[in-house]
């Protein structure tokens, strides 16, 4: 079981990742440095992601809008922490046609400033609150080193931006959307995630607090898969957004923002992929079932393959019959590379027996009756989902270590990268110290882990304030 | 019948248009000059447009992709006509963070060059053809004078880009997509359109031929609502894209592109709107039916309103109950402004009689039984669609004139703007002459109008080569 077209994961995980991106036809390089072309197969996965997530946003009361892609420099500069965080990595438009602009514009790296500019125009009273907005757009950050899906100068994402009457309501929104992300990652993408709070040094520029979902990839490195920020009234003050409250007094509203991006595509690849290529969670697979006719020139084979496809299609399954002239072996390898969750093989002998072979991308194949094939396939798709989630959980379990000392971390790292649960005193010097001495970085302060009495900082040995997950990260 | 919040159409059509955009909460101005915020209600219309059109593209075999938003200057310059057409109106990125770029990048005004760059990487043989690609993105053109939806520096659109083995196949694709646009405009948006070919002077920069659908707005000005371009092998030659043909020889492929944009939103407003505001074609209305309870504090009224809403929702109708504390009169005006196609009024008396009042945004209201309300509403929505299409056809009919001379045009223009069908010799000097002397411009050479023997050019009186529609245009 190894596709020779791609580097083995154990040999070079980074090269394996790029090979999968290219051979599964997810992306292509372009003449535009640091950017990527998302090809039809990759984009179809992203379309499934956006459709499902967008439904979850709408079910939680959010509406889509579209802001401009440009931010005038003066607007970007209104919130001091925010501009300091983003100005070093934005692309600047200085000319329109042959004329120099009076004020240069940056291509949005994120749109808090644009939403604030809009909120100031449309919010007067508590009756205008909350606004629960989202947009699906691309943003630009001028990264030096880039990799498909993981770090590119332009990437696709959604950014939710909400504004509320009270701090409590905004904080609840921040946490609610983190829960939506976690549910989506686990239930739809079969990627288990840890929910937690970012440390001060790792917060979004301008946020009071940043929450994240963190996933562990197959190689033991962590991937921040989504973030949700609580802003308090900092942006409102910087942009002078006020509303008349129920007490008839002017007050500043409280804001949030939250986002996931095409990084999720990287997360899918690195959580589920194997040496045969991509493995897709059924919910977002463009092709959930591929039907491969065996000896397709024999009478009745192709019509039966199409009959099965029609049945599955009518049952809501995304299905494809590959009746091209390539050999069955070539087709098997091709759809394994593309991560199609379920393969059906149907040949002359199966016809006679009213059967077909159902193979799971996660392993195992069995002859199955053609009667009730819809149910059989749905069970198979569920089995792929469960196998993916279990494998990811197992990988995380195997790679998670509790550490009392830096030596514990370094010793464990000799067996491979992973997640380290270790207490921390809360000082930035110690946070940096851990990274310097071990290579792992703080990922988040998890919601579901408590400090025990007597826990001390893994770095300085003083009293601990937080339990923290540490890992190398993408 | 006149909402005082907006300027009357007859008083100032341009001001009426802007008023509707703002009061119906479709868009908002921003600090970003020449750009707009598309607000939730406007964006929800656009989402319906994109969902339906995207389905039509997929049904005709097209796949979505995503290209970068930037084009390196050297790439833009590869096709000479193309760069001459677009370079004067692009936004230039010159800096990434604090560093000056080695080569400046323009923000895509359209993406032919990026698709060509990609095709060159992925096409080797006739087996790789055709590629039928599309993308939904925003593009930027540095317009001096801007108006919401009609002309803005950034706008949303889709751009189809296809590449084919033969010229005939590419030409057929160009015409097929024009037909898709025409069908969408008429069947979905209730906007009748004329299909035709653009004159040489009005072609897309780099095209062999450009086809368009032209719609006539309420005020008698034309709106180009969609275009489809045939490129021949010009781009392929400029970008050195070659494939090995069936005869084993290298050949240049043939290309097309086609697009519609948020201009369609402008078309909807200006075709169907009235002095009470927006009027939406049911297929793209975010709210197809609004239910307004009368004396809603009376027992049973709100539960019955909700019961009707649930029934309609289950039948696939987009429905909203407005149970806010505003008066019914305020609500009537509000949803008329927002162009909601059907309004249901339900009060205590209706309850007793198992009835409600069904009012159409296009005029007329009747008491209807609550039994079978789903069918009643579907019939009402169809009636709104038909009324809109008929009204638009009637307006176009009333405003279409056949002209033999420039005086014919000028005389007719005294009665109001409109469409003029007049023969033309094919010389650019005469095309310009018509515009100079009458103010109307060539819109297209319609597919369904033939020259008669003896027809002469409306400008110079020499032998005519084409029948042309002329109009003032947005």
Decide if B68 and A30 are in contact by the 8 Å CB cutoff: yes
What percentage of chain B reaches a pLDDT higher than 90? Answer: 97
pLDDT value at residue A168: 98
| Chain B interface test: which of A61, A90, A91 (most B C-beta within 10 Å) | A91
Do B372 and B438 have their domain in common?
A: no
Task: Give yes or no: residues B332 and B424 share one domain.
Answer: no
Residue of A nearest to B102 (CA): A33
Pairs of CB atoms within 8 A across A/B: 154
User: Do B253 and B320 share a domain, yes or no?
Assistant: no
Q: Which CATH number do you get for residue B407?
A: 3.30.110.30
Neighboring chain B residues of A28 at a CB cutoff of 8 Å:
118, 121-122
Q: What is the mean pLDDT of chain B?
A: 97
pLDDT digits 0-9 by tens, B112-142: 999 999 999 999 999 999 999 999 999 999 9
Examine the pLDDT at A1 and tell me if it is beyond 70: no
Rg over alpha carbons for chain A, rounded to the nearest Å, is 25
How far apart are the C-alpha atoms of A361 and A384, rounded to whole Å?
7
Give the pLDDT of residue B3: 75
- Tell whether omega for the bond before B456 is within 30 degrees of 0, i.e. cis: no
Q: What's B167's domain CATH number? A: 3.30.930.10
pLDDT of residue B39: 98
Flag the least confident range among A281-285, B187-191, B348-352, B380-384: B348-352
Residue from the list A47, A95, A142 with its beta carbon closest to the beta carbon of B92: A95
Q: Is the pLDDT of residue B195 over 80?
A: yes
User: Which chain B residues contact residue A38 at CB under 8 A?
Assistant: 65-66
B314 contact A CB<8A: no
Check whether residue A183 and residue A38 sit in a common domain. Answer: yes
Nearest partner of B444 among B208, B220, B227, judged by Cα: B227
| Contact residues on chain A for B105, CB-CB shorter than 8 A | 32, 91
**Which residue of chain A is at minimal alpha-carbon distance from B90?**
A97
Q: CA of A84: how far to CAs of A81, A206, B249, in Å?
A: 5, 9, 57
Complex ipTM, two decimals?
Answer: 0.96
| pLDDT tens for each residue of B376-423 | 999 999 999 999 999 999 999 999 999 999 999 999 999 999 999 999
A91: nearest CB among B93, B154, B156:
B93
State how far the Cα of A306 lies from the Cα of A344, in Å rounded to an integer: 12
* Three-class HEC string of A7-51: CCCCCCHHHHHHHHHHHCCCEEECCCCCCEEECHHHHHHHHHHHH
| pLDDT tens digits along A211-233 | 999 999 999 999 999 999 999 99
Q: Which residues of A touch B30 (CB under 8 A)?
A: 67-68, 114, 117-118
Tokens of A426: 């809360």
List, in sequence order, the alpha helices (H) in A262-371: 263-272, 301-314, 328-337, 348-353
Give mean pLDDT, residues A22-38. Answer: 96
Q: Is residue A411 part of a domain?
A: yes
Enumerate residues 6+ apart whose C-beta is below 8 A from B260.
B53, B157, B158, B181, B184, B225, B226
| A455: in domain | yes
Residue B299 predicted with pLDDT over 70 = yes
CB contact burial B239-271 (16+ within 10 A = b; e otherwise) = bebbbebeeeeebbbbbbbbbbbbbbbbbbbbb
The answer to whether residue A340 is domain-embedded is: yes
Average pLDDT over residues B18-26: 98
A94 plus A188 within the same structural domain: yes
Beta carbons of B129 and B165 less than 8 angstroms apart: yes
Contact A66 B31 (CB under 8 A): no
Q: How many domains does chain B have?
A: 3
The pLDDT score that the predictor gives to residue A299 is: 94
Q: Which residues 24-83 on chain B approach chain A with CB closer than 8 angstroms?
A: 28-32, 35-40, 43-44, 46-47, 63-72, 75
Q: Does A318 touch chain B (CB under 8 A)?
A: no
Per-residue pLDDT band at B447 (split at 50, 70, 90)? very high
Chain A environment of B54 (Cβ under 8 Å): none
- pLDDT given at position B4: 76
Strongest mean pLDDT among A87-91, B31-35, B382-386? B382-386
Contact A414, A182 (CB under 8 A): no
pLDDT at A3: 75
Is residue A394 one of the residues assigned to a domain?
Answer: no
Q: Select from A70, A169, A55, A119 the least CA-distant residue to B35.
A: A70
pLDDT score recorded for residue A5: 85
The long-range contacts involving B172-177, CB below 8 angstroms and separated by at least 24 positions, are: B173/B130, B173/B132, B173/B256, B174/B209, B174/B211, B174/B228, B174/B229, B174/B230, B174/B256, B174/B258, B175/B211, B175/B228, B176/B60, B177/B60, B177/B228, B177/B256, B177/B258
Read off the pLDDT of residues B435-446 as tens digits, 9 standing for 90 and up.
999 999 999 999
Q: What percent of chain A has pLDDT over 70?
A: 100
Contacts of residue A68 in chain B, CB cutoff 8 Å? 30, 32, 35-37, 154
Give strand pairing partners of B154. B140
Same domain for A233 and A123, yes or no, is yes
For residue A462, what are the domain limits? 400-471
Any bridge partners for residue B180, and if so which? none
Q: Tell me the residues of chain A between 128 and 167 that have a Cβ less than 8 Å away from chain B.
A: 133, 137-138, 140, 142, 153-154, 156
Residue B279 forms part of a structural domain: no
> Would residue B5 count as lying in a domain?
no
User: Omega into B353 within 30° of 0, i.e. cis?
Assistant: no
Chain-chain contact of A65 with B43 (C-beta, under 8 angstroms): yes
B461: Cβ–Cβ under 8 A, 6 or more apart, which residues?
Answer: none
Q: B325 vs chain A: nearest CA distance in angstroms?
A: 12
CA distances from B366 to A435, B199, B276, B338, B343 (A): 74, 49, 20, 21, 11
**Same domain membership, residue B405 and residue B374:** no
Which residue in B39, B69, B105 is closest to A138 by CB distance? B69
Residue A398 has pLDDT above 90, yes or no: yes
Interface test with B, best of A22, A54, A70 (most B CBs within 10 A): A70
B36–chain A nearest CA distance, Å: 6
So what's the pLDDT on residue B95?
96
Write the DSSP assignment of B171-235 as a string of letters. Answer: HHHHHHHHHHHHHIIIIIS----EEEE--GGGS-TT-SEEEEEEEE-TTS-EEEEEEEEEEETHH
For chain A, the straight-line distance linking the first and the last C-alpha, in angstroms and rounded, comes to 28
pLDDT, residue A2, reads 67
Of A153, A38, A290, the closest CA to residue B64 belongs to: A38
Same domain membership, residue B222 and residue B78: yes
Q: pLDDT digits over B128-179, tens only?
A: 999 999 999 999 999 999 999 999 999 999 999 999 999 999 999 999 999 9
Domain assignment present for A388: no
Q: Rounded to an integer, what distance in angstroms lies between the CA atom of residue A250 and that of residue A240?
A: 11
Among A347, A382, A417, residue at a domain's last position: A382
Q: Rounded CA gap, B332 and B336, in Å?
A: 6
Q: Are residues A148 and A74 located together in one domain of the fold?
A: yes
Strands B355-360 and B365-369: antiparallel
User: Which tokens hold the place of A22?
Assistant: 């290219």
Q: Is residue B1 part of a domain?
A: no
Name every residue whose Cβ is closer than 8 Å to that of residue A173 and which is 6 or more positions away in sequence. Answer: A130, A132, A162, A164, A256
Domain boundary, last residue among B212, B243, B272: B272
C-alpha to C-alpha distance for B361 and A54, rounded to whole angstroms: 30
Residue A95, min C-alpha distance to chain B (Å) = 5
Straight-line distance from the first to the last Cα atom of chain B, in angstroms, rounded to the nearest whole number: 28
User: pLDDT at residue A4 above 80?
Assistant: no
pLDDT for the residue numbered B448: 94
Task: Look up the CATH number of the domain holding residue B336.
Answer: 3.40.50.800
Check residue B2 and give its pLDDT: 67
Looking at beta carbons, which residues of chain A come within 8 Å of B140?
A: 69
Q: Reduce the DSSP state of residue A396 to 3 states and report it.
A: helix
A76 & A153 share domain: yes
Q: Is A300 in the same domain as A225?
A: no
**What would the two tokens of residue A161 be?**
């931006």
From chain B residues 326-355, the ones with a CB under 8 A of any chain A CB are: none
pLDDT value of residue B1:
52
Contact (CB<8Å) A92/B87 = no
Distance CA A433, CA A426 (A): 12
Average pLDDT over residues A34-53: 98
Interface touch B117/A30, C-beta < 8 Å: yes
Where a domain ends, among B272, B301, B328? B272
Q: Tokens standing for B39?
A: 């607000």
> Are B102 and B214 in the same domain?
yes
């Amino acid at each position: 079981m190894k596709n020779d077209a791609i580097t083995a994961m154990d040999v070079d995980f980074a090269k394996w990742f790029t090979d999968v991106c290219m051979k599964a036809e997810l992306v292509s390089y372009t003449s535009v440095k640091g950017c990527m072309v998302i090809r039809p197969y990759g984009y179809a996965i992203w379309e499934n992601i956006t459709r499902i997530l967008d439904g979850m946003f709408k079910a939680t009361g959010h509406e889509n809008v579209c802001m401009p892609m440009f931010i005038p420099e003066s607007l970007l500069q209104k919130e001091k922490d925010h501009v300091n965080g983003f100005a070093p990595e934005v692309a600047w438009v200085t000319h329109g046609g042959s004329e120099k602009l009076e004020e240069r514009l940056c291509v949005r790296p994120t749109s808090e400033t644009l939403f604030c500019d809009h909120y100031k125009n449309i919010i007067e009273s508590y009756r205008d609150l909350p606004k629960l907005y989202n947009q699906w757009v691309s943003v630009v950050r001028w990264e030096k080193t880039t990799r498909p899906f993981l770090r590119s100068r332009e990437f696709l994402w959604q950014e939710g931006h909400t504004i509320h009457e009270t701090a409590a309501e905004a904080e609840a929104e921040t946490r609610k959307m983190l829960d939506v992300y976690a549910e989506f990652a686990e239930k739809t993408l079969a990627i288990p995630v840890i929910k937690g709070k970012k440390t001060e040094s790792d917060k979004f520029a301008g946020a009071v607090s940043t929450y994240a979902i963190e996933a562990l990839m197959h190689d033991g490195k962590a991937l921040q898969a989504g973030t949700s920020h609580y802003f308090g009234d900092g942006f409102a003050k910087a942009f002078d957004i006020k509303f008349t409250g129920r007490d008839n007094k002017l007050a500043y509203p409280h804001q949030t923002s939250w986002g996931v991006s095409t990084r999720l595509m990287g997360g899918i690849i690195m959580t589920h992929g194997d040496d045969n290529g991509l493995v897709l969670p059924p919910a977002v697979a463009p092709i959930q079932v591929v039907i491969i006719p065996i000896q397709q020139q024999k009478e009745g084979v192709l019509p039966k393959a199409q009959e099965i496809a029609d049945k599955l299609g009518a049952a809501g399954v995304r299905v494809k019959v590959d009746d091209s002239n390539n050999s069955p072996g070539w087709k098997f390898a091709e759809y394994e590379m593309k991560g199609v969750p379920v393969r059906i093989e149907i040949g002359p002998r199966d016809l006679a027996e009213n059967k077909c072979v159902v193979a799971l991308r996660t392993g195992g194949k069995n002859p199955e009756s053609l009667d009730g094939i819809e149910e059989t396939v749905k069970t198979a798709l569920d089995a792929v989902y469960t196998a993916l989630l279990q494998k990811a959980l197992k990988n995380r379990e195997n790679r998670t270590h509790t550490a009392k000392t830096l030596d514990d971390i370094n010793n464990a790292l000799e067996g491979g990268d992973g997640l380290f649960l270790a207490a921390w005193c809360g000082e930035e010097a110690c946070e940096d110290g851990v990274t310097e001495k071990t290579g792992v970085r703080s990922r988040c302060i998890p919601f579901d882990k408590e400090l025990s009495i007597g826990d001390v900082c893994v770095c300085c040995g003083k009293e601990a304030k937080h339990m923290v997950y540490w890992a190398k990260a993408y």
